[in-house]
Structure formats: C-alpha cells, structure tokens
Amino acid sequence: MFKQSSIFQYRLEDEAIDLRKQAEGMAHGGRRNELLLIASRIETSVKWLDSPGLRAPT
C-alpha cells in the first residue's frame, strides 16, 4: 500500500514530465520558459519531499 505522500510525489513527477514535453514543442520565449521554470520547481519540491532531513523554508 502506498502512502498518500508517495502518490502525491508521483503525480508531481508526472506533471513535471508533462510540462517539459509541452515546452519541447514551443519556440524559445516567455511561455516555454515559464513551463520549464514550473517543471524545475516541481522537481525541486519532489526532492524536498523525499529528503527526511530537510526542513521547510521559513
């Protein structure tokens, strides 16, 4: 049985992959950069969730 947080992490990872795929087909510019930035932030969040020793930013 998966923990709810694990399922959430998988959903976040899938979202980051989808955003990067969307960005691949776009010309360089504002919207593409925005999608890549969001994907990067999601990936950072997943790493943070997966690291038991880290604390939330204050």
Q: Do residues 23 and 35 lie in contact, with contact meaning Cβ atoms separated by under 8 Å?
A: yes
Q: Do residues 16 and 35 lie in contact, with contact meaning Cβ atoms separated by under 8 Å?
A: no
Mean pLDDT of 41-45: 93
Q: What are phi and psi of 17, to 5 degrees?
A: -60, -45
Kindly give, in sequence order, each residue whose CB lies less than 8 Å from that of residue 9, ignoring residues fewer than 6 positions away: 46, 49, 50
Q: Check residue 1 and give its pLDDT.
A: 41
> What pTM was computed for the model?
0.77
Which run of H or of E encompasses 33? helix 30-50
Q: What is the DSSP letter of 54?
A: -
pLDDT digit string, tens, across residues 13-37: 999 999 999 999 899 999 999 999 9
Q: Check residue 11 and give its pLDDT.
A: 93
Amino acid 24 reads E
